[in-house]
Chains A and B, each alone.
Chain A
Amino acid sequence: MLKQKLLILYAANSSLDSPIGAWSLYDGTGREKHMAGDADEPPYSSVLAAMRDGWRVIQLPQLRAPAAGAEHATAFLEYEFVLEKMVEADR
């Protein structure tokens, strides 16, 4: 059966070819287990590079105007791209 792997890439800006500053990988097959702090280098240099390796983009970050009075507030990473691969796996 097919199972889903999710790769979440946090890009420098809204462009899919901008550099990656953070990343996460969640493997629905259970073959790989990833956790905080387990890698020093991102798996791809950009979202576009991941696409060229067969990852499908399933979420683009929305571009939102900042709230009035909080234009300089920072919190979560803004440019979160979610990608998937469906891979054959045992039940």
Chain B
Amino acid sequence: MTAARRLTSLQMAGFVADGALRFDGIVPRALGDAALAELAGGGPPSPFGADPASPAAGWSGRPLAGLFRDWPALTAVLELPAVAAVIESLLGPDPIYDHHYAHVIAARNEWSQPWHADAILDPRRAAFDIQLCFFFHDTPRDMGGTMYLPGSHLRRVNEFAIARYQNFTAQEAMACPAGSLLVCHHGIWHCGQPNRTDRSRTMFKLRLNPRVAQRLVWDTADLRDLRIGKVLSRDHGWYGHEVRLEIANRIRLWRDLTGDARYDVDFWLTRIENDPLAGTSKPG
């Protein structure tokens, strides 16, 4: 149990609807500066693209706990009660380290990374990984940072297959104060934005996997809050009339996360699950 309060059900519903949660200034500036110094010093080595014979190549799949012990500032960041509570709320206890990478965008880099989803097309329905994106220094809009598309995470695409798209009406750039954290579902569509300043930009990304079933591992005191349905029904606009399909898929994920197989919003799934001839349950 972490000392800080875990995410509420309303926040979890927001994650299910948007595919991301944002925490501005969650890391104290001095600690963020120390973490940046560790990254600038070359560590910790990333298993992404690492020499197969190097120790870092064997990190993926190991427990996160203690993995960064030689980098005390980064360890302290991940052990901040508020950060640990976010991780535990989304993944449950003892998460699995997947990989990390310090994305450094040089000053006056006018190029935008194309839109993409990370890794490969992921057919899991209920389980999800999270990606923690730390912005340890101030990141104004002209510095980038990472642009992401709320509500894109449940759309199944493979990596840069979406690179043809340039702009969406609801896209959001992570312009933020020092010490901010963006936590994303693994399926979120995103792209690194140009850095038009004279300073380089660093974003530390850490991907974690669940070890346990991600069911009711947050603070569930508000599980019956009637506003949850409204949050799950958010319309981000950019997907047009497919919003009801998005809501249906969010309801399915919410059912998995809560274990409540009959949960519904506005009768969307209950209606189509009522098939007396097939012997499936009727509403009520």
Q: Could you list which residues of chain A lie within 8 angstroms of chain B, going by C-beta atoms?
A: 8, 10-13, 18-25, 34-42, 72-79
The answer on a CB contact under 8 Å between A36 and B166 is yes
How many residues of chain B are within 8 Å of chain A by beta carbon? 34
Of B113, B114, B249, which is within 8 A of A72 by CB? B249
The residue on B at minimum CB distance from A42 is B169
Of A13, A34, A38, A74, which is within 8 A of B155 by CB? A74
Q: Could you list which residues of chain B lie within 8 angstroms of chain A, going by C-beta atoms?
A: 111-115, 147, 154-157, 161-169, 171, 173, 191, 193-194, 237-242, 245-246, 248-249
Determine chain B's interface SS by DSSP, over half rule.
loop
Q: Give me 9 other A-B pairs in contact (C-beta within 8 A), A74-B242, A74-B249 excluded.
A: A21-B169, A21-B240, A22-B166, A24-B166, A36-B167, A37-B147, A38-B166, A42-B169, A77-B165
Given contact pairs A36-B114, A37-B193, A75-B157, A10 touches B166 in the complex (Cβ within 8 A): no
The residue on A at minimum CB distance from B172 is A37
Kindly list chain A residues whose C-beta atoms are within 8 Å of the C-beta of B157: 75-76
With A and B bound together, what is the CA distance between A2 and B271 in angstroms?
55
With A and B bound together, what is the CA distance between A73 and B195 in angstroms?
35
Most buried by A among B114, B147, B165, B167: B167
The answer on a CB contact under 8 Å between A78 and B242 is yes
Kindly list chain A residues whose C-beta atoms are within 8 Å of the C-beta of B168: 21-22
The residue on A at minimum CB distance from B156 is A75
The answer on a CB contact under 8 Å between B112 and A38 is yes
18 contacts between A and B (CB under 8 A): A8-B164, A21-B168, A21-B237, A21-B238, A22-B165, A22-B168, A23-B166, A35-B111, A36-B112, A36-B147, A37-B167, A37-B171, A37-B191, A38-B167, A42-B169, A74-B242, A76-B157, A77-B239
With A and B bound together, what is the CA distance between A18 and B246 in angstroms?
19
The answer on a CB contact under 8 Å between B154 and A74 is yes
The residue on A at minimum CB distance from B169 is A21
The answer on a CB contact under 8 Å between A22 and B238 is yes
